[in-house]
Amino acid sequence: MSTLVLAIFIPFLAAAIIPFLYKYIKNIHVGWFVILVPTGLFIYLASLIPDISGGEAIVQTINWIPSYGINITAYLDGLSLTLALLISGVGALVILYSIYYLSLKEPIGTFYTYLMLFMGAMLGVVMSDNMLVLYVFWELTSISSFLLIAFWYQRKRSREGAKKSLIITVSGGISMLVGFIMIGAMANTWSIREVIAEVASISDHALFIPALLLVLLGAFTKSAQFPFHIWLPDAMEAPTPVSAYLHSATMVKAGIYLVARFTPVFGGEAVWFWAVTGVGIFTLFWGSFNAVRQTDLKALLAYSTISQLGMIMSMFGMGSAALHLGYSDESMVYTGATFAALFHLVNHSTFKGALFMVVGVVDHSVGTRDIRRLGGLITLMPITFTIATIGSMSMAGLPPFNGFLSKEMFFISTLDITEASFFGLGTWGIIIPIVAWIASVFTFVYSTVFVVKTFLGPYKEEKLEHPAHEPKPGMLISPIVLGLLVIIFFFVPNVIGKNLITPAMSGIFPTFAAEGADLGTDIYAWHGFEPELFMTIGVVLFGALLFFSRKYWSGIYNLFPEKRSINVFYGFVLDQMEDKSTVITNKYMTRYLRDYMVYIFAFFILVVGGTFIYTEAYQFTLPENATISVFEWLIVLSMMATGITILFAQSRLTAIVLNSILGFGIAILFVLLRAPDLALTQTVIEAVTTVLFLVAYYFLPELEKENTSKKTKSINLFISIGVGVVFTAVALGVQGNRGFDTISGFFENSYELAGGNNMVNAILGDFRAFDTMLEVVVLLIAGIGIYTMIRVKAKKESDQIEDK
């Protein structure tokens, strides 16, 4: 197996080993073994930086389903390497943090298993070149994140948050899959690289814009863009290490990555530009505006994450404008927005990861995250305060922290886009920097709230569950490392810019790179007295004014009451769907077998019979049929008489005997039609069924006279006649209507194709191998479920006996 593909599957292998490791290692935290996985992956990926920064891209493939063009192709360029380094690097720090955060009393083996599943899925997303394989990993991230969010499943809010995230992200993933299928149909390939090469030939296709919108829907749901952002605050019920990993550095960046990866495909379209830029810039504002009103530290960070993701998304939208113009000096101005987006993507992972860990430290130390109960922790938790200040000021976009650099680049991008004369930007473009500046003001406010309300002011020990204190040094290592990176990236930003971001730009603008464009940008803190500097000064001054005057203007939030929020609307729709579905279900789930058979047969009559009438398939010619012998007539007439007689049987024994006559009659017909293997099978099955019926009915009470209404009898008669007529029509109609060549000719070569003399066995064991395998898997899953229920019941009964 190739090394890149192996790197994707190593976390999955670790996930399979962890439960056994956890079972037999009791005195050592299993996290010390798990941390070796992301650390090793990070070192391996970092060793590839020189090759990638030199302009190379590594492609390795193993076959999966080659007949359908579906293979596991690992593709590593600057874009995927940047994300992979974040996934593995931050993952290692999160595991180190988890070792000290999670108690050994917790099911930590389960926790690390889920975490490794998620890590492998995310690596698969960012390193897959095949769209269908990418989708498989995409949905694995949704499932594993669901398990992580619901880790404390005994809490109702954890279960509800996990369910909401799963519903929204999986729904978006399905729409993305439909978009991928459309792209594959247009380009006749599942390879993203090959699709990019075919853009000129598919951009005018009727499916191009629908595919664009469906792919964006998947990206927006995963990256919590408005109005799909509502799942992210509820996902904060997960343990803090999960929030630090999934909801700041990795999972929420999957949608961002998808937009970046498909920008070369859709980037030149006005729909793409306005959808990505518009949704992103509004999400930036809405997230920052709502973050200020939060009283829970994790909720504040959740909305701040929504806001920052919107900021990154909008920059990718603005940068895509360059593809509309083609390679020129004018278009190169707009590529700076994409460069800024990639840089801020890295910066956000550092300062937001540190802030989430700070919240975990505060909650772990004092027992609450409620801002109204906090304050005065600066003297008791000075190290935590320092990390919080670094992260918050970087989030607010202040020097000397890395967030300042990317925020300045963001302001420059919003100002540059106002000078464009296409996509209607000459009229509406001015809105973008205005909204960006207002959102940045609120960003400054909530960043200040995070630090001031938590660490400054009076100490409220009586409102805390535990006296404030610094945690064990081990819990501070990871946030300290991230905090140091925030500062280091400010002073040496071009190390990241030249070695990671510039190669990533080549993946987003491959045509520009092919023409020799310099896609790199020198990052520096001082731009002179330029408009972006005055925008930053205005953010600080106006933000400080808003912070100190909050009690005078906070009433504006009354215009957006919680009872009218999107979150409440989502809950209302879900509740209504559940109630209505319950009513509908109760209508047809009557617990009467007769009703179920009526529904099934009525559906059969309407669909199959309707199709026959609509397609005019009811055509047959009797004279062309084979001659029916006397013996066949006798058997058929006997079966007809038997079937009618069953309806008037007065005892179960009589009904069973008559029913068996029908079965053996079919067996005799198989003999007359020269199908001895089918006749033998039918005879065995009929004999066994008859015996089982006799044994079962022996223990039943006496048969009472059935009191069936005339209405029910009429329905039964109608259904019976209808099914008989449709089946007869199908049997006769297929003789005169053959829309496709028969497949029997293919199976006649079973010996040459599968090495089997028995055609039926070859079909089951070779031609339908996947179907047979899945049937076995279903039985295996059912067996595991039954075994689990038996064990749980036995354990419960054992515990009850011990209690007595």
Q: Write out the DSSP string of 169-238.
A: HHHHHHHHHHHHHHHHHHHT--BHHHHHHTHHHHTTSTTHHHHHHHHHHHHHHHTT-TTGGGHHHHGGGS
pLDDT attached to residue 271: 95
Average pLDDT over residues 209-238: 93
Tens-place pLDDT, residues 245-255? 988 878 899 99
The domain boundary, picked from 739, 761, 793, lies at 739
Q: Which domain holds residue 597?
A: 591-739
Residue pair 128/193 in contact by the 8 Å Cβ criterion: no
pLDDT at residue 289 above 80? Answer: yes
pLDDT attached to residue 798: 64
Whether 343 and 476 map to the same domain: the answer is yes
pLDDT at residue 546 above 90? Answer: yes
Crossing angle of the two packed helices 36-47 and 108-127, in degrees rounded to 10: 20
Residue pair 234/165 in contact by the 8 Å Cβ criterion: yes
pLDDT attached to residue 738: 64
Average pLDDT over residues 444-465: 91
Whether 472 and 601 map to the same domain: the answer is no
Question: In a 10 Å sphere around its CB, with 0-12 CB exposed, 13-18 middle and 19+ buried, how is residue 646 labelled?
Answer: middle
Average pLDDT over residues 768-786: 86
pLDDT at residue 29 above 90? Answer: no
Three-class DSSP category at 652? helix
Whether 341 and 474 map to the same domain: the answer is yes
- Dist CA 214 CA 233 (whole Å): 24
Whether 779 and 733 map to the same domain: the answer is no
Runs of H (alpha helix) within 367-472: 382-396, 402-417, 425-428, 431-455
**Residues in CB range of 323: below 8 A, 6 or more apart:** 263, 264, 267, 268, 331, 509, 511
pLDDT at residue 275 above 70? Answer: yes
- For residue 44, CA distances in Å to 4, 62, 239, 420, 648 come to 10, 20, 29, 43, 78
Three-class DSSP category at 154? coil
User: Does residue 575 lie within any of the structural domains?
Assistant: no
User: Does residue 580 lie within any of the structural domains?
Assistant: no
Lowest mean pLDDT among 419-433, 453-467, 620-634: 620-634
Q: What is the CATH number of the domain that holds 649?
A: 1.20.120
pLDDT attached to residue 292: 94
Query: Would you place residue 571 in the very low, low, confident or very high pLDDT band (cuts 50, 70, 90)?
Result: confident
pLDDT at residue 740 above 70? Answer: no
pLDDT at residue 310 above 70? Answer: yes
pLDDT attached to residue 413: 94
Three-class DSSP category at 75? strand
617 membership: H or E segment, kind and range: none
User: Does residue 94 lie within any of the structural domains?
Assistant: no
Whether 527 and 391 map to the same domain: the answer is yes
Average pLDDT over residues 507-526: 88
Whether 279 and 363 map to the same domain: the answer is yes
- Dist CA 347 CA 312 (whole Å): 11
Whether 533 and 605 map to the same domain: the answer is no
Whether 757 and 733 map to the same domain: the answer is no
Average pLDDT over residues 450-463: 90
pLDDT at residue 725 above 90? Answer: no
Query: Would you place residue 697 in the very low, low, confident or very high pLDDT band (cuts 50, 70, 90)?
Result: confident
Average pLDDT over residues 713-741: 79
- Dist CA 476 CA 479 (whole Å): 6
User: Does residue 109 lie within any of the structural domains?
Assistant: no
Tens-place pLDDT, residues 90-123? 999 999 999 999 888 888 999 999 999 999 999 9
pLDDT at residue 382 above 60? Answer: yes
Whether 411 and 481 map to the same domain: the answer is yes
Ramachandran angles phi, psi of 190, nearest 5°:
-100, -5
pLDDT attached to residue 700: 75
Q: What percent of the chain has pLDDT over 90?
A: 53
Whether 597 and 551 map to the same domain: the answer is no
Whether 600 and 704 map to the same domain: the answer is yes
Rounded mean pLDDT of the chain? 89
pLDDT attached to residue 801: 60
Average pLDDT over residues 673-689: 87
Q: Parallel, antiparallel, or unpaired: how do β-strands 70-76 and 58-65 relate? A: antiparallel
pLDDT attached to residue 80: 95
pLDDT attached to residue 739: 62
Lowest mean pLDDT among 357-371, 489-503, 612-626: 612-626
733 vs 444, higher pLDDT? 444
User: Does residue 642 lie within any of the structural domains?
Assistant: yes
State the total domains in the chain: 3
Whether 378 and 292 map to the same domain: the answer is yes
Query: Would you place residue 737 in the very low, low, confident or very high pLDDT band (cuts 50, 70, 90)?
Result: low
Lowest mean pLDDT among 183-192, 636-645, 738-747, 766-775: 738-747
